[in-house]
Amino acid sequence: MAKYKMSLDVRTATGKKTKALRAEGIIPGIVYGSGFEPVMVQSEYVSTEKTLLAAGYHSPIEGKIADKDQLMMVKNVDIDPVKRTIRNVEYLAISADEIVEATTPIEIVGFEKSPASVAKLSLMQIIEEIDVKAKPADLVAKLEVDASALVDDDSKITLADLKLPKGVEFVDKELDLEQPIAIVIDPAAEAAEREAEAEAPTVDAADVPSDVGEKPAEEAKEEKSE
């Protein structure tokens, strides 16, 4: 059974009429999938937003469309670029037995206990999410990776350190597992480097002689006469 649930009504309003729905606090959407007849749907804004934020693109949702149960996942969310509100949602209809893909967040834990943290070093996360595939019941809300063993600014966490749960695989079979998820950095050293760069003398173009790289006039004259 999916952790998240959502109730959807069948939608009849289309095109410009969906603007009136949004004004009433209703989000238009559509549910589609392999072997599934697309259904236009709509749902109440506040509860839908709450579910979308929790489920993300990585967790299955137990949907109820006009009293009919349908397992689904969020495929795409259209956001208004100005108001930053949800304009439309696409849901992917799935079954409990099929392999589905999900974009799953990566959470780094334990860095505060590491020797690197004790030494006042910082951790910079480079990869924050990764595409995985699994049956809906095997998908997880996040993938955790332990950083408690990081020692110095040569230390890093790679994709090889990411332990996938049983039944979960990377979508990309050719993924470079040595690719870093996070690296340890020395904030003090980086600040000193930036300060040194800022204090370095600069050469103005006006200070550079215009004849640099040119042959002396006498030599150029002789070559011309030959």
Q: pLDDT at residue 219 above 60? A: no
Q: pLDDT at residue 206 above 80? A: no
Q: Out of 18-22, 133-137, 187-191, which region has the weakest mean confidence (pLDDT)?
A: 187-191
Residues of the chain above pLDDT 70, percent: 85
Give start and end residues of each alpha helix (H) in 119-215: 187-199
Q: pLDDT at residue 12 above 90? A: yes
Chain mean pLDDT for the chain: 88
CA 150 from centre of chain: 24
Q: Out of 23-37, 132-146, 157-171, 179-193, which region has the weakest mean confidence (pLDDT)?
A: 179-193
CATH T-level fold of 4-97: Ribosomal Protein L25; Chain P (2.40.240)
Give the per-residue pLDDT at 111. Answer: 96
User: In whole angstroms, how far apart are CA 63 and each of 25, 82, 166?
Assistant: 19, 29, 26
Q: Confidence class of residue 66 from pLDDT cuts 50, 70 and 90?
A: confident
- 194/168: higher pLDDT: 168
Give the per-residue pLDDT at 225. Answer: 52
pLDDT tens for each residue of 144-165: 999 999 999 899 999 999 999 9
Q: Under the phi-then-psi rule, with left for phi > 0, alpha for psi from -120 to 50, and beta for the rest, what region is 50? A: alpha
Q: pLDDT at residue 115 above 90? A: yes
Kindly report the backbone phi and psi dihedral angles of residue 27, in degrees, each rounded to the nearest multiple of 5, phi listed first.
Answer: -100, 120
Q: pLDDT at residue 25 above 80? A: yes
Residues of the chain above pLDDT 90, percent: 77
Domain 101-190: give its CATH architecture.
Beta Complex (2.170)
pTM of the full predicted structure? 0.73
Give the per-residue pLDDT at 221. Answer: 52
CA distance 60 to 101: 11
**How do strand 26-33 and strand 86-93 relate by DSSP bridges?**
parallel
pLDDT average, residue stretch 196-225: 58
Q: What is the DSSP letter of 3?
A: S
pLDDT tens for each residue of 91-106: 999 999 999 999 999 9
Q: pLDDT at residue 141 above 60? A: yes
Q: What does the domain layout of the chain look like in residue ranges?
A: 4-97, 101-190
Give the per-residue pLDDT at 213. Answer: 52
Q: Confidence class of residue 192 from pLDDT cuts 50, 70 and 90?
A: low
